Amino acid sequence: MKKVVRKIFFAWNEDKEKLFLEDMAMKGYRLEKVQLGKYTFEEDIPRKLIYQFDFKSFDNMGEEEYLQLYRDSGWDLVCKFSGWYYFSREWEEDTDITIFSNNESKRAKYKRLLVFLAITGFPLYYQTLIFFPLLEKIDFGGSEYSKFYIFSRVILLIVTGLHMFAMFKMIKVYFRLRRSIKE
């Protein structure tokens, strides 16, 4: 039997998402699929699973080679959503239960995410900072386009603000990990 839970987590809150998924596994629900704000679980026997996430973006490593690295370490791919990969494994006493064994590897994950956000944010910032101000010089003569222009500009400003907030939060996590490197 499937169970759908609607919840939103952000990359800077991945510890909360991890605890949520591990709690669901203890209640007998195994993660099956992740979508934006939607988690689909399959009813299963209650067990202690450990979940970890990785973000894979633009790199030269093929997906099969990438996944083999995790399989060799005992991690199973549960699902993937966008560039995020969800891995799990059974909890074992005296076993390293993290994919990222040090802060440097964690930082590398957040760096990949920041590069992805910067690349995807460029068109957004271009529209907000360059294109829309140029449109103000055009006289639309009170047409319906001018109403659409105002509406689309408001939406774009909201999305740009959210993107900037996400970038700020990710940069904060990245530099916090940089300060706390313990090798």
pLDDT one-digit tens code per residue, 141-164 = 555 556 666 777 788 889 899 999
Cβ pair 169, 99 in contact under 8 A: no
Which tokens is 58 given? 């633009």
pTM (2 d.p.): 0.77
Domain residue ranges of the chain, discontinuous segments joined by + = 2-90, 103-179
For residues 49-74, give the mean pLDDT: 83
Report pLDDT digits (tens) over 9-56.
988 888 899 999 999 999 999 999 999 999 999 999 999 999 999 988
